[in-house]
Amino acid sequence: MELKGSVAVVTGGASGLGEACVRDLVSHGVRVAILDLSEDRGRNLASELPGACFFQKTDVTDENSVKSAIGATIERFLSIHIAVNCAGVATPAKVLGRRGVMTIESFVQVLNINLIGTMNIIRLAAEQMMKNKPNNDSEIGVMINTASDAAFEGQVGQAAYSASKAGVVGMTLPIAREFADYGIRNVTIAPGIFDTPMIGGMSDAVRQSLIATCVFPKRMGYPSEFAMLVRQIIENPMLNGATIRLDGALRMAPK
């Protein structure tokens, strides 16, 4: 899909991987709706990129909130060609922890944000993409989702997180197959350890232990590298139905 002139919605777009995607897409001529709960960060980012993007406070777990965000995007930019799902949480919790058994509420919360939230965007963005004029490849839209290495090698304390991300991986191909009839591609990225605010909140000791598990390059990934892959997926029509590991050959240890 041609980047210049396209319209994208990016969830979790106010920080981390999402922010990097917003900046990269705007720099390549894409108009972007920043969907996030963080109003200050979202509005500040939009003010840095006037005219090219706007911020819409969005709770991806809430259908009405997502509908409002999609509607605001259509009102502002008239169409949606690209949806990038970066909103997510990685709240750790053991099933049998020191403070007792995991609450089912904490498990459901992670699934609601990471998995249900992703589906909310996919289904409601796809509904709008159906109105787009096909390009020369009969393509009308691109969905890009964020999983994690934890979908494949979940660590101790990641039962909820791994389940949510494995769900994103699991629905990638079925959705791609379904959407093929309409000309919408669906691709998932499974990043390893990236230098984001989520990692930034960890102690130096934990950060160094994570870096020690990296194979090559021997460092955390940069959010700009994630954004680069998002852009390459958009531009390459043969990328579809796949989950791409972006992890420098990292394989997560048990803990």
- The yes-or-no verdict on residue 182 having pLDDT over 90 is yes
pLDDT at position 212 is 87
Q: What is the pLDDT of residue 243?
A: 98
Least confident segment among 6-15, 36-45, 205-214: 205-214
Domains of the chain, start order: 7-246 (3.40.50.720)
CB 150 within 8 A of CB 169: no
Nearest Cα neighbor of 83 from 114, 120, 56, 54 is 120
Instruction: Indicate whether 98 pLDDT > 80.
Output: yes
Instruction: Give the global pTM.
Output: 0.95
pLDDT, one tens digit per residue, over 150-174 is: 999 999 999 999 999 999 999 999 9
Q: Which of 161, 179, 194, 226 is catalytic?
A: 161
DSSP tag of 221: B
State the DSSP code for 142.
E
Average pLDDT over residues 193-214: 82
Of the chain, the end-to-end C-alpha distance in Å amounts to: 40
Is the model's pLDDT at 199 over the cut of 80?
no
As a whole number, the mean pLDDT across the chain is 96
Identify whether 217 is preceded by a cis peptide bond (ω within 30 of 0): yes
Q: Which two tokens stand for residue 232?
A: 């390459």
Mean pLDDT of 87-103: 94
- Average pLDDT value for residue range 220-231: 97
% the chain with pLDDT above 90: 91
161 catalytic per annotation? yes
